[in-house]
Amino acid sequence: MTMLSDVRVVELAGGTAAMIAALLLGEAGADVTRVEAVPCTADAEPLLALRNRGKHILAADPATPGGREKISSLLAQADILIHDYTPEQARAIGIDAATLEARFPRLIAVAIGAYPAPHAKAEMAVRDFLALGDAGVLYEQAPIGRDGPIYLRFPLGSWAAAYLAAVGASARLLARDRGAGAHAISTSLVQGALTSLAMYWYRAETPSQSLIDGLPKTSEASLFECGDGRWIHILTNADHVPLMKAALDALPEAERQPVPPTTTIRRLFPLLPANRKAFLTRPAQAWLDAFWAADIAAQPVLPMGALYSDPQLLEQGMIVERDDPVLGMTRQPAAPFIVRTSAVAEPQPVPPPRGAAGNRPLEGVKIIDLGNFLAGPFAMLLAADLGADVIKVEATTGDQMRWIDWGFNACQRGKRALALQLKDPRAKPVMERLIAWADVAHHNLRMPAATKLGLSYDALRAINPALIYCHVNSYGATGPRKDWPGYDQLFQAMSGWEVESGGAGNRPSWLRFGMMDHLCAMSSLQATLNALRNRDRTGEGAFVSASLLGAAAFTAETIALADGGLTPFARLNGAQTGISERDRLYACADGWVAVMAEDDAAWERMIAALDGQALETALSRLSAPEAIAFLHHNGCLADIVRERGAAGFFDDPANRACGLVAAYEHPRFGLLEQAGSFWHFGDQPSVMDRAPPVLGQHSDEILAMLDFSPSEIGTLRDAGVVA
């Protein structure tokens, strides 16, 4: 993939997020150089064979004058720097935003912290476990069989921050090449986690019942154990499928009574206890065969690494073979996006340069959001946050997720809304003018449905040959499963993360953060922005595809070896408190602390200080502040794990001061507060002034922009074509 073949990236990273961000840019064609003070190889860290794939490795210690000189030489030729140094650390080695802008005016500096740079806790160690514990995220998933926080085996903050960094870099690159200057951009592990927490952290002056109910962290997941001990995750009611109907009918009538619809899952499965018993009567494959034949969204819960032999991924080229000098021939996940360009008769003119005063890099970019649910619309919320003019086009009956206010609102702010009955032929002139207006059309409709509505790539390209068309799908744009239905839960199941999140000896566990949806959304936006920049340079339109399956596969923490084995990876314990004594949660007398003992000498010193007492026992007798003081005194990373919730996070003055809380008036909910900015743009504040729209809120405004007269608008409204 060569979208960024002219782009040079320098990576200065000690953590996961910056490594993956640079890898994502490399997968789009950029030339990436990773700077390492102490080179590390795949025999010590097998996952580096994937994380460093395609990168040049330069040995240079930024703590030394010689190392800094080598890095400066690299930066003088680079377009993008990605690093995870704290503000003080960055200033100490001369890579803070102000210094870089003065020395290298074309360089885009992308920083990833634990908290945003302006935050009071910006100097916190950039470690997922510690940052998310402090922010309150570890209390947002209920552990199995106990109260308290959970060790999130999936590094939620790091993965999301990596994509935010890659998207932010791509947006800044587009703006720079359009004349807006380079400018820095930053994000953080906490902002990464907020991409998912936006569904659950909100406050409304006049909340609906849906907002009041939300999705409690103790909610059941639609995971079912089958007769052969395997598990299935299903997201569509299947009571009508003959195999399930027969199994239900075989149960005593007293066991087939509906359950009260008190939760989303119980509304979806009104016979939930009976379903659980029915699943135990058949092996997993029998259920899957029956469900797939009936177009039911279901997948098996698989172990980590199983996707390396998945036919759908193999057929699309989303699993690649790489010969590693240490590991030998391996199988690894490919990029989670695909871009196919298409030449146009006349190249589009590059937009005129903008002044440096515009801090949002996508100002002037025009996008139509045709998506429903989450993975499509969330990408477009991010585009709007970055300054794009996003028009949400939905049916006059509304987005299929509108009835779930907490989920819908989490991916809609910043957009203008047009309610249009696409099935009506009289809507065609509206869509034609919209497509001609747009730079990008983005959706996550199943392609047969999109084609039936006249929204295929070929149909839209006929109107606007230079259009960037992005399709977010479940299983990819080709292959036998390309049109299958899919949801986040199914891809957590297939990727192995439900097994790993459950912990040793436990049942599988779905993480309610919905991260596969969010990662897929962000991968689609990165690829779309790269394609848009390529259009500026070449005049080529493009078809962009991003899938939930591809995004899930890309998160693998193991690599497949030639002998069929897998490289080792850390496993969560049965208590769901950690992966080792040195990397886990500990209960104190008045709360919990997160401990990461990365330094061997410090760990040995602390063990000696315990004088034969177990660390777990010692910390249980201390208050959390006392425990932190003891751990820090002995050189360990540690922080208090806070139970904050939305109110605690939103009312924190430090969070509000640096834009981590957004507030705006909403037509239904009054004052609505949500998770705030996912990036920081330097000295200028982020602009988040448009609340999630109600159905058709901007229909008249948009139609007038498209040169429909007041009488034409009235006719469309009277006919029910527009709401």
User: Would residue 619 count as lying in a domain?
Assistant: yes
Bridge partner residues of 224 (DSSP):
232
User: Over pLDDT 70: what percentage of the chain?
Assistant: 97
User: Over pLDDT 90: what percentage of the chain?
Assistant: 91
The predicted pLDDT at position 143 comes to: 97
Mean pLDDT value of segment 89-97 = 96
Give yes or no for residue 344 having a pLDDT over 80: no
Which tokens is 505 given? 């000896």
Per DSSP (E only), the strands in 400-509 are 416-419, 440-443, 468-473
3-state secondary structure string across 272-297: HHHHHHHHCCCCHHHHHHHHHHCCCC
Give yes or no for residue 349 having a pLDDT over 60: no
Whether the model pTM is above 0.85: yes
- How far is 471 from 443, CA to CA, in rounded Å? 5
According to DSSP, the β-strands at 328-333 and 337-342 are unpaired
User: Would residue 58 count as lying in a domain?
Assistant: yes
Confidence of residue 682 (pLDDT cuts 50, 70, 90): confident
Residue that terminates a domain, selected from 296, 315, 341: 296
Give yes or no for residue 237 having a pLDDT over 90: yes
The predicted pLDDT at position 353 comes to: 44
164 and 274 share a domain?
A: no
Instruction: State the total domains in the chain.
Output: 3
User: Would residue 627 count as lying in a domain?
Assistant: yes
CB contact at 8 A, 82 and 16:
no
The CA distances from residue 578 to 76, 321, 481, 543, in Å, are 42, 32, 36, 42
169 and 285 share a domain?
A: no
CB contact at 8 A, 681 and 185:
yes
Length of the chain in terms of residues written: 723
Residue with structure tokens 């640096």?
Answer: 658
108 and 252 share a domain?
A: no
For 486-510, the pLDDT digits (tens) are 999 999 999 999 999 999 999 999 9
CB contact at 8 A, 75 and 81:
yes
Name the strand (E) or helix (H) holding 76.
helix 65-77
What is the CATH classification number for the domain harbouring 107?
3.40.50.10540
246 and 117 share a domain?
A: no
**Cβ-based burial of 137 (10 A; exposed 0-12, middle 13-18, buried ≥19):** buried
Confidence of residue 351 (pLDDT cuts 50, 70, 90): low
Residue that terminates a domain, selected from 591, 623, 643: 643
113 and 256 share a domain?
A: no
The predicted pLDDT at position 27 comes to: 97
For 392-429, the pLDDT digits (tens) are 999 999 999 999 999 999 999 999 999 999 999 999 99
183 and 259 share a domain?
A: no
The CA distances from residue 654 to 114, 204, 650, in Å, are 14, 21, 9
265 and 173 share a domain?
A: no
User: Would residue 595 count as lying in a domain?
Assistant: yes
177 and 260 share a domain?
A: no
Helices and strands in the chain: count of H runs, count of E runs: 30, 26
Mean pLDDT value of segment 451-464 = 97
User: Would residue 243 count as lying in a domain?
Assistant: yes
User: Would residue 567 count as lying in a domain?
Assistant: no
The predicted pLDDT at position 647 comes to: 96
User: Would residue 405 count as lying in a domain?
Assistant: no
The predicted pLDDT at position 263 comes to: 80
Mean pLDDT value of segment 53-73 = 96
- How far is 10 from 36, CA to CA, in rounded Å? 11
The predicted pLDDT at position 345 comes to: 56
For 238-278, the pLDDT digits (tens) are 999 999 999 999 999 999 999 898 888 888 999 999 999 99
Computed over every residue of the chain, the mean pLDDT equals: 94
Q: Nearest CA to 51 among 290, 362, 378, 330?
A: 330
12 and 77 share a domain?
A: yes
**Residue 630 domain boundaries:** 580-643
The predicted pLDDT at position 262 comes to: 82
Per DSSP (E only), the strands in 485-581 are 541-547, 560-561, 578-580
CB contact at 8 A, 178 and 350:
yes
Residue that terminates a domain, selected from 268, 296, 324: 296
Give yes or no for residue 48 having a pLDDT over 70: yes
185 and 244 share a domain?
A: no
According to DSSP, the β-strands at 337-342 and 541-547 are antiparallel
Mean pLDDT value of segment 38-64 = 89
User: Would residue 177 count as lying in a domain?
Assistant: yes
Give yes or no for residue 37 having a pLDDT over 90: no
108 and 45 share a domain?
A: yes
Phi, psi of 444 (to 5 degrees): -130, 30
Give yes or no for residue 42 having a pLDDT over 90: no
- How far is 445 from 234, CA to CA, in rounded Å? 19
109 and 254 share a domain?
A: no
Confidence of residue 355 (pLDDT cuts 50, 70, 90): very low
Confidence of residue 40 (pLDDT cuts 50, 70, 90): confident
